[in-house]
Structure 1
Amino acid sequence: MASISTRIKKDASKSYMVRWRDPKSHTNQGLTVATEAEAETLKRLLDANGQSFEIAQHAILSNQARVPTVAEVVQEHIDLLIRPSSGTVRTYQVMLDRHIRDIIGHIPVDKLDYRHLNHWVKSMMAKGKAPKTIHNVHGLISAAMNTAEMLQYIPKNPCRGVQLPSIDKAEDEAMFLTHSEFNMILEVMGERYKTFTSFLVMTGTRFGEATALKVADVDLLAKPPTVRVNKAWKRDGKSQFYIGATKTGAGKRTIGLNPALVDLLVPLVASRTGDELLFTTPKGERIVHRLYWHFYWVPAVKAARAHGLRKSPRIHDLRHTHASWLIQDGVNLFTISRRLGHTSTRTTEQVYGHLMPEALQAGADATERSISGFVR
């Protein structure tokens, strides 16, 4: 069996020595390579070919001359990612195995063109895949093709200009509750989670952000009182949850707290250490979305509907509701965007723009002016 040893150079960089015993001369041989990947490849080929360096070298040269397939390039792109989370690698690997490999994965990367990609989009749609899924997987393919371009496998990225299904959401997909409608749900919510539910609607934080907050993130003595959002629950490659970064860089933000919410949070902060989770289950553990939804949210919504509520909101609709309340109160788009942790005001406008009273009134006024010439 060949072996690999690592050498640390004076400049702190590494090199890798592959050692094996030549089957003809029965002498020990060694070769230094620059990267661990090269070392692993050489070792694997030596072990598979009776430690014959000639055969291993021929296989390496033949492989270098061969144009890699789309699947191989996507895999190489994943392997080259700098410090990705295990959850990200797992997600990309699933995308490759489920949505790329069997459709266009076999195509030599230099032959991939608009027709292949168009076929891929249509096949994904035919399988009933959601537009957002298609966009996400296409994003991985496009990023991999950028890598292929940098590695000089292809002259340009063939993903540019490919038409994808629209992911624009219908207006009624985001549900907005009035104050009285939310109160109908809150009144029948389990006592343990009333403050948590109120926090979601009063701050617009995402579920994974709110449940990852620590006591130290809350400053009730500041002017005004604030909560610092800088982390969220993530899932790693083994589907285990851990606290990581927020969804986007803009997700790191400080949110001002209203007096009513401050009153609710005082008992949760008092006499507790800063590293404790702010919101927990009765056993002091993190609040799991699936369990909160099944045992508390759904029963509360059903009970509220039995008392006259006509809507069936999701938990995430509390975030939409928070934004709608701010809009109704005349808060500007930039402030709302920062409070929600959106990357840009464009995102905020796309989701909530149709609620802006000034825009609605401006459109109506402009129409009135334009028809003044023929309406009497």
Structure 2
Amino acid sequence: MASIRKRVKKDGSSSFMVVWRDPKIRKQQGITVDSAHEAETLKRLLDANGQSFEIAQQALLDNRAKIPTVGEVIQEHIDLLIRPSSGTVKTYQTMLDLHVKKVIGHVPVDKLDYRLIAYWVKSMMAKGRSPKTIKNVHGLISASMNTAEMLGYITRNPCRGVQLPSVEKAEDEMMFLTHAEFGLIMEGMGERYRDFTNFLVMTGTRFGEATALTVADIDLLGKPATARINKAWKRDGQNQFYIGPTKTGAGKRTIGLNPGLVDLLIPLVAGRLGGDLLFTTPKGERIVHKLYWHHYWMPAVKAAQERGLRKNPRIHDLRHTHASWLIQAGVPIFTISRRLGHASTRTTEGVYGHLMPEALQAGADATERSVAAFMR
């Protein structure tokens, strides 16, 4: 049986050596290829042809001359990705295996058209898949078809123009808290995580960004005091957490800290090493989202609901709440976009545009002018 040995290069990329025993000279042979998909294909051909490299090589050349299937193209697209984390690769692989292979994975890529993509969408809906899941998997298929177009397998991406189910809900998924509502939650928040929770709502940082902050990232002597956001917790292919880059390149940013937050942070940085995590558990470890949510966030929310809170906010809604407070205060959209780490102001406008006071007032004024004639 042939085997595959993965090797990590100095630049972080991987190569794959296929090893087998030649039946003629009875010695071990090996050849290195760039992708896991190509290595698996060669291994399969060697095992199917008595470990004869000549036969396997010819079969490989014949196979390359054939038009690949949709599943093969998506697999090749995943293998060719340059900068994804191992967690992202695992997610894409799961999408391919669960949602594509058994439906349209066998279709030759040059036969994939609008009808088949529409059929795939309907099959996903029939299985009860959420609009968001359909959108995400369709995004992977479309990106793979762009790759197929660049590799010359097809002349046009068949995913263009395909209608997807709406991801909008009857009620807004985002939730915004007033200052009073946030205060109700903080009344029930455990003392250990009060400063951390205040940091989330006062900076709008993502949970994975805030929990990855180190003491060295905080500058309380600057004017203004700042927090440098340049990393976040990520999950690898084995579901283990590690420190990696922010969600996007624009996610690397410096956030100004208000005086009230500075007062909360002074005890957290005093006398500590720069490499220490700023926010930790009582044991000095990383704050785990699930545990914080279960043991602190939800008990605080439930206690607030008993005192009159009518909302059921998520932890991430603190980020939305922060943005809504800035908008209500008249902070320019560009400033808000940079503070949140959005790639462009279009993202910020798309998410929070409906809260802009100027737009709300303009709509109200226009309505008043249009009805003034018959209201007199």
Q: TM-score, normalised by structure 1?
A: 0.89
Cα deviation code 1:303-331 (max 9, x no counterpart): 11112222221111111111111111111
**Match of 2:10?**
none
State the secondary structure of the residue aligned to 2:192.
helix
Deviations 1:15-65 (A, max 9, x none): 999896464xx5989898886776775565345323445532442233123
SS at match of 2:172: helix
Matched with 1:10 is none
- Equivalent position SS for 1:254: strand
**1:164 counterpart residue number:** 164
Matches within 5 A, 1:261-276: 261-276=261-276
Amino acid at match of 2:218: V
Once the two structures are superposed, residues 269-294 of structure 1 have per-residue CA deviations (whole angstroms, 9 ceiling, x without a partner) of: 11011111100000000110100000
2:153 aligned counterpart, secondary structure: coil
CA distance in 1, matches of 2:354, 2:17: 60
Partner of 1:101: 101
1:63 equivalent in structure 2: 63
Q: In the alignment, which residue of structure 1 is the partner of 2:214?
A: 214
Determine helix, strand or coil for the equivalent of 1:172.
coil
In structure 2, C-alpha distance between the alignment counterparts of 1:3 and 1:239, rounded to whole Å: 26
Native 8 Å contact 1:42 1:56 kept in 2: yes
Paired residue type of 1:319: R
| SS class of match (1:173) | coil
- The answer for the alignment partner of 2:233 in structure 1 is 233
- Contact map agreement 2:21 2:27 (CA 8 A) in 1: yes
Give the AA of the match of 2:323.
Answer: A
- State the match for 1:200 in structure 2: 200
Q: Which residue of 2 aligns with 1:81?
A: 81
- How far the C-alpha of 1:210 sits from its partner, in A, is 0.6
Instruction: Tell me the amino acid that sits aligned with residue 286 of structure 1.
Output: R
Paired amino acid for 2:98: R
Question: CA–CA distance in 1 between the matches of 2:364 and 2:223?
Answer: 40
CA separation of 1:363/1:67 partners in 2, compared to 1, >3 Å: closer, same or farther? same
Distance 2:27 2:302 in 1: 75
CA separation in 1, counterparts of 2:35 and 2:363?
62
Once the two structures are overlaid, the 10-residue window that deviates more, 275-284 or 241-250, is 241-250
SS of aligned partner of 1:284: coil
Gaps of 5+ in 2: 8-14
CA distance in 1, matches of 2:31, 2:242: 39
Q: Residue type matched to 1:345 in 2?
A: T
Contact 1:16 1:36 in 2 (8 A): no
Aligned to 1:285: 285
| Counterpart-to-counterpart distance in 1, 2:341 and 2:210 | 13
1:99 maps to a residue whose letter is H
Q: Secondary structure at the match of 1:105?
A: coil
Whether the 8 Å contact between 2:213 and 2:277 is mirrored in structure 1 is yes
RMSD of the TM alignment (CA)?
A: 2.8
Partner of 2:362: 362
- Quote the offset at 1:166 in angstroms: 2.0
Q: 1:108-132, CA deviations, whole angstroms, 9 ceiling, x for partnerless residues?
A: 1111110110011111122222222
Residue 84 of structure 1 deviates from its aligned partner by 2.5
- Residue 166 of structure 1 aligns with an amino acid whose one-letter code is S
Of structures 1 and 2, the larger Rg is shown by 1
Change (3 A) 1:84 1:173: closer
Measure how far apart 1:349 and its partner are.
Answer: 1.8
Aligned match of 2:11: none
Within 2, Cα distance between the matches of 1:35 and 1:300? Answer: 51
CA distance in 2, matches of 1:253, 1:311: 31
1:256 partnered with 2:274: no
Distance in 2 between the 1:168 and 1:250 partners?
26
Q: Tell me by how many angstroms 1:78 deviates.
A: 0.8
Q: Which amino acid aligns with 2:285?
A: E
